[in-house]
Amino acid sequence: MVTREGPTRPTIYDVAQRAGVSKSLVSLVLRDAPHVSPARRQAVLEAIAELGYRPSSAASALASQQTRAVGVLIDDFRNPWFVELLAGLRSVLDPAGYTVSVADFQLDTASGRNPVDGFLAQHADALVLAAEPPAELLENVPVPVVVAGTRELGAQALPTADVVAGDDDRGGELATRHLLDVGHTAVGHVSGRGGPAAHRRRGYERAMRHAGLEPLVAGAGGETSEENGYTAATELLAGHPGLTGLVVANDVMAVGALAALDERGLTASGGTAVVGYDNSPLAAYRHLALTSVDPHNREIGAEAARTLLARLRNTDAEPRRYLVEPSLVVRASTRGATAQG
């Protein structure tokens, strides 16, 4: 039997032999270290070009004890809010030479895996947490951590972590005041559990009380899925049939809330106004045309990446807390609804 072997990948030893220098000197050139004579540096660079040598990233990581890899933990791939966050992260980390790996907390834990341990086993240099794993999963994490989008996690489980988040209290208030300003007084809130939902709920309640109105909340203890949005909206509408406005904790839940309204003939074009949160791609779909709070997740991601790079340069700096101001994008889901009640 005859086996055919492809071309052999050149090694650092081949480069050293071609340049007439030692392996250690080639390593110095690859690291752009000083104190290498111009003549020898040029000889090594020419040998690299002639041989088509490419350094092993794994070997470089072992030598420098850095992988230039960042692990990003999100809560659920089914919720598209993180798409812009990842784009913002990569806009800063890619040019800096870092690779980004993503894990889904819900999916991994359902499979019996600890995603944090998975990142650490891969020797990630740092972590970005855009989810709320239990505190016990975060004990003794030996690498820098930036919490993106969830303030409670940084304050409670990781008091030394940097936090970059949207101002969700302000966002919940912004959504509610929009409905109040266009004449709605019977406004309910579809909520869920978790840090961002709690802050958005707080903003809603503050705006309602400031207007002298009773807050009406459903779903605060449940998940933040489309199904939970439908269930919570159904509960609100059954208990308060005079509602003309809904503030919903995120756009995915808002899809469920709109389905509950459709079943009752209360579409946004002629019935109950709906405001979502995240300004995700879902909100812009023409069929939904959902008014939504934009937390500026791309900006949050980019700022989280800048904060992470600064932390890697100075691990002893005080933890940073940075909030991004949200804005409201108005679409048809609140333009056509009639304010009553």
User: pLDDT digit string (tens) for 261-312?
Assistant: 999 888 765 679 999 999 999 999 988 999 999 999 999 999 999 999 999 9
User: pLDDT digit string (tens) for 32-56?
Assistant: 777 788 898 999 899 988 888 876 5
Pairing of strands 327-329, 291-294: antiparallel
Tell me: pLDDT of 24 over 60: yes
pLDDT at 93: 95
Q: What angle, 0 to 180 degrees and rounded to 10, lies between the N-to-C axes of helices 251-263 and 226-239?
A: 50
User: pLDDT digit string (tens) for 63-76?
Assistant: 445 678 999 999 87
Please report, rounded to a whole number, the percentage of residues in the chain having pLDDT higher than 90. Answer: 57
| 85, 123, 150, 153, 154 from 157: Cα distances, Å | 22, 22, 11, 5, 6
Q: What angle, 0 to 180 degrees and rounded to 10, lies between the N-to-C axes of helices 12-19 and 38-51?
A: 130
pLDDT at 65: 54
pLDDT at 239: 95
Asked if 130 contacts 149 with a C-beta cutoff of 8 angstroms, the reply is: yes
In angstroms, rounded to a whole number, what is the distance separating the alpha carbons of residues 150 and 132? 7
One-letter amino acid identity for 69? A
Lowest mean per-residue pLDDT among 75-79, 135-139, 223-227, 274-278: 135-139
